[in-house]
Protein backbone atom coordinates (compact mmCIF):
# COMPACT_ATOMS: atom_id res chain seq x y z
CA UNK A 1 0.00 0.00 0.00
CA UNK A 2 1.42 3.36 -1.09
CA UNK A 3 0.52 7.04 -1.11
CA UNK A 4 -0.90 7.78 -4.57
CA UNK A 5 0.15 11.39 -5.15
CA UNK A 6 1.24 14.64 -3.55
CA UNK A 7 4.19 15.42 -1.30
CA UNK A 8 4.47 11.82 -0.03
CA UNK A 9 3.84 10.20 -3.41
CA UNK A 10 5.06 6.62 -3.64
CA UNK A 11 5.83 6.24 0.07
CA UNK A 12 5.01 2.77 1.32
CA UNK A 13 2.62 2.58 4.29
CA UNK A 14 2.67 -0.06 7.01
CA UNK A 15 -0.47 -2.00 7.89
CA UNK A 16 -1.52 -3.90 10.99
CA UNK A 17 -0.92 -7.63 11.00
CA UNK A 18 -3.89 -9.99 10.96
CA UNK A 19 -7.50 -9.33 10.09
CA UNK A 20 -8.24 -6.66 12.69
CA UNK A 21 -7.84 -3.90 10.09
CA UNK A 22 -9.29 -3.95 6.57
CA UNK A 23 -7.35 -1.47 4.40
CA UNK A 24 -9.25 0.31 1.64
CA UNK A 25 -8.32 -1.37 -1.66
CA UNK A 26 -6.09 0.76 -3.92
CA UNK A 27 -8.66 1.08 -6.72
CA UNK A 28 -11.31 2.26 -4.23
CA UNK A 29 -8.86 4.73 -2.67
CA UNK A 30 -7.98 6.12 -6.11
CA UNK A 31 -11.68 6.53 -6.94
CA UNK A 32 -12.39 8.15 -3.57
CA UNK A 33 -9.71 10.79 -4.06
CA UNK A 34 -10.93 11.49 -7.59
CA UNK A 35 -14.38 12.16 -6.13
CA UNK A 36 -13.16 14.52 -3.36
CA UNK A 37 -10.14 16.02 -5.13
CA UNK A 38 -11.45 19.60 -4.83
CA UNK A 39 -12.41 19.20 -1.16
CA UNK A 40 -8.88 18.63 0.19
CA UNK A 41 -6.54 21.61 -0.29
CA UNK A 42 -6.21 23.61 2.95
CA UNK A 43 -8.96 21.64 4.71
CA UNK A 44 -9.16 20.00 8.12
CA UNK A 45 -9.70 16.23 7.80
CA UNK A 46 -10.99 13.54 10.17
CA UNK A 47 -9.94 9.92 9.61
CA UNK A 48 -12.23 8.06 12.01
CA UNK A 49 -11.55 4.35 12.56
CA UNK A 50 -8.16 5.18 11.05
CA UNK A 51 -6.60 1.72 10.76
CA UNK A 52 -3.31 2.39 8.95
CA UNK A 53 -4.23 6.05 8.42
CA UNK A 54 -3.98 5.73 4.64
CA UNK A 55 -6.98 7.98 3.88
CA UNK A 56 -5.92 10.86 6.12
CA UNK A 57 -2.30 10.51 5.01
CA UNK A 58 -3.36 10.66 1.36
CA UNK A 59 -5.33 13.84 2.15
CA UNK A 60 -2.32 15.40 3.89
CA UNK A 61 -0.09 14.46 0.97
CA UNK A 62 -2.55 16.23 -1.34
CA UNK A 63 -2.49 19.47 0.67
CA UNK A 64 -4.91 19.13 3.57
CA UNK A 65 -4.05 21.64 6.30
CA UNK A 66 -4.43 19.14 9.15
CA UNK A 67 -5.66 15.60 9.75
CA UNK A 68 -6.94 14.00 12.93
CA UNK A 69 -6.72 10.22 13.19
CA UNK A 70 -8.84 8.30 15.71
CA UNK A 71 -8.68 4.58 16.41
CA UNK A 72 -9.64 2.68 19.56
CA UNK A 73 -7.07 -0.07 19.15
CA UNK A 74 -3.47 0.50 20.18
CA UNK A 75 -1.79 -1.27 17.25
CA UNK A 76 -3.54 0.81 14.54
CA UNK A 77 -2.82 4.04 16.43
CA UNK A 78 0.87 3.10 16.59
CA UNK A 79 0.89 2.18 12.88
CA UNK A 80 -0.69 5.55 11.99
CA UNK A 81 2.01 7.38 13.98
CA UNK A 82 4.72 5.33 12.25
CA UNK A 83 3.22 6.04 8.80
CA UNK A 84 2.99 9.76 9.52
CA UNK A 85 6.63 9.79 10.60
CA UNK A 86 7.82 7.87 7.53
CA UNK A 87 5.91 10.18 5.16
CA UNK A 88 7.10 13.35 6.89
CA UNK A 89 3.54 14.47 7.62
CA UNK A 90 3.53 14.26 11.44
CA UNK A 91 3.69 18.03 11.89
CA UNK A 92 0.16 18.45 10.48
CA UNK A 93 -1.44 15.48 12.23
CA UNK A 94 -2.91 14.40 15.54
CA UNK A 95 -3.33 10.74 16.47
CA UNK A 96 -5.86 9.80 19.16
CA UNK A 97 -5.88 6.30 20.59
CA UNK A 98 -9.43 6.29 21.93
CA UNK A 99 -12.99 5.27 21.24
CA UNK A 100 -14.59 7.34 18.47
CA UNK A 101 -17.57 8.33 20.65
CA UNK A 102 -15.33 9.48 23.48
CA UNK A 103 -13.36 11.61 21.03
CA UNK A 104 -16.43 13.13 19.38
CA UNK A 105 -18.16 13.79 22.70
CA UNK A 106 -15.07 15.69 23.84
CA UNK A 107 -14.00 19.16 22.91
CA UNK A 108 -12.90 18.49 19.33
CA UNK A 109 -12.98 21.15 16.64
CA UNK A 110 -14.92 21.05 13.38
CA UNK A 111 -13.88 19.37 10.14
CA UNK A 112 -14.22 20.01 6.42
CA UNK A 113 -13.81 16.42 5.26
CA UNK A 114 -14.42 13.22 7.22
CA UNK A 115 -13.63 9.63 6.30
CA UNK A 116 -15.63 6.94 8.13
CA UNK A 117 -14.47 3.40 7.49
CA UNK A 118 -15.38 1.30 10.55
CA UNK A 119 -15.44 -2.48 10.71
CA UNK A 120 -18.32 -3.64 8.52
CA UNK A 121 -21.69 -4.76 9.88
CA UNK A 122 -21.04 -3.68 13.47
CA UNK A 123 -23.44 -0.74 13.64
CA UNK A 124 -20.49 1.59 14.27
CA UNK A 125 -21.07 3.54 11.06
CA UNK A 126 -24.71 4.22 11.94
CA UNK A 127 -23.68 5.34 15.44
CA UNK A 128 -20.78 7.51 14.28
CA UNK A 129 -22.46 9.28 11.36
CA UNK A 130 -24.74 11.64 13.37
CA UNK A 131 -21.95 12.35 15.84
CA UNK A 132 -19.55 13.30 13.04
CA UNK A 133 -22.20 15.44 11.33
CA UNK A 134 -22.36 17.60 14.48
CA UNK A 135 -18.63 18.35 14.08
CA UNK A 136 -18.68 19.26 10.38
CA UNK A 137 -18.42 22.70 8.85
CA UNK A 138 -21.41 23.70 6.66
CA UNK A 139 -19.50 23.14 3.40
CA UNK A 140 -18.09 19.84 4.60
CA UNK A 141 -18.27 16.38 3.11
CA UNK A 142 -18.58 13.06 4.94
CA UNK A 143 -17.40 9.96 3.07
CA UNK A 144 -18.53 6.56 4.35
CA UNK A 145 -17.01 3.31 3.18
CA UNK A 146 -19.56 0.56 3.67
CA UNK A 147 -20.73 -2.74 2.19
CA UNK A 148 -23.13 -2.23 -0.73
CA UNK A 149 -25.86 -4.21 1.06
CA UNK A 150 -25.77 -2.03 4.19
CA UNK A 151 -28.39 0.71 4.31
CA UNK A 152 -27.54 4.22 5.42
CA UNK A 153 -29.96 7.04 6.30
CA UNK A 154 -31.09 9.57 3.69
CA UNK A 155 -30.07 12.41 5.98
CA UNK A 156 -28.28 12.98 9.25
CA UNK A 157 -28.37 16.30 11.10
CA UNK A 158 -27.91 18.97 8.37
CA UNK A 159 -26.33 16.52 5.91
CA UNK A 160 -28.05 14.78 3.02
CA UNK A 161 -26.91 11.53 1.44
CA UNK A 162 -25.61 12.09 -2.05
CA UNK A 163 -24.41 9.64 -4.59
CA UNK A 164 -23.17 6.20 -3.59
CA UNK A 165 -20.34 4.88 -5.75
CA UNK A 166 -20.03 1.09 -6.03
CA UNK A 167 -16.82 -0.89 -6.39
CA UNK A 168 -17.70 -4.57 -6.23
CA UNK A 169 -19.03 -5.17 -2.71
CA UNK A 170 -17.77 -1.80 -1.43
CA UNK A 171 -19.74 1.45 -1.56
CA UNK A 172 -18.50 4.99 -1.02
CA UNK A 173 -21.45 7.02 0.25
CA UNK A 174 -21.15 10.82 0.37
CA UNK A 175 -23.03 13.19 2.65
CA UNK A 176 -23.08 16.92 1.94
CA UNK A 177 -24.54 19.82 3.90
CA UNK A 178 -28.15 20.51 2.86
CA UNK A 179 -27.30 24.11 1.94
CA UNK A 180 -24.58 23.02 -0.53
CA UNK A 181 -25.71 21.99 -3.99
Q: For the chain (length 181 residues), average pLDDT per consecutive 10?
A: 88 78 84 93 96 94 97 91 95 96 90 93 92 93 94 92 92 89 53
Phi, psi for 55 (deg, rounded to 5): -75, -45
C-beta separation of 69 from 95 below 8 A: yes
**Dist CA 172 CA 81 (whole Å):** 26
Which pLDDT score, from 0 to 100, does residue 181 have?
A: 53
Which pLDDT score, from 0 to 100, does residue 117 have?
A: 92
Which pLDDT score, from 0 to 100, does residue 18 have?
A: 62
> DSSP secondary structure string, 84-123?
HHHHT-GGGEEEEES-HHHHHHSS---EEEEEE-PPTTSS
C-beta separation of 69 from 47 below 8 A: yes
Phi, psi for 140 (deg, rounded to 5): -75, 165
Can you name the residues that pair with 128 across neighbouring β-strands?
none
Measure Cα distances from 144 to 12, 84, 115, 120 in Å: 24, 22, 6, 11
Amino acid sequence: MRVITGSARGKRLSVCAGRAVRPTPERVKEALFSIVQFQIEGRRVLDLFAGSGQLGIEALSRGAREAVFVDAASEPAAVVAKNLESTGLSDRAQVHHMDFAFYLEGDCETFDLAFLDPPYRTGLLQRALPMVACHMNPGGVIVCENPTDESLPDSVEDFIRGKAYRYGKIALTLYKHKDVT
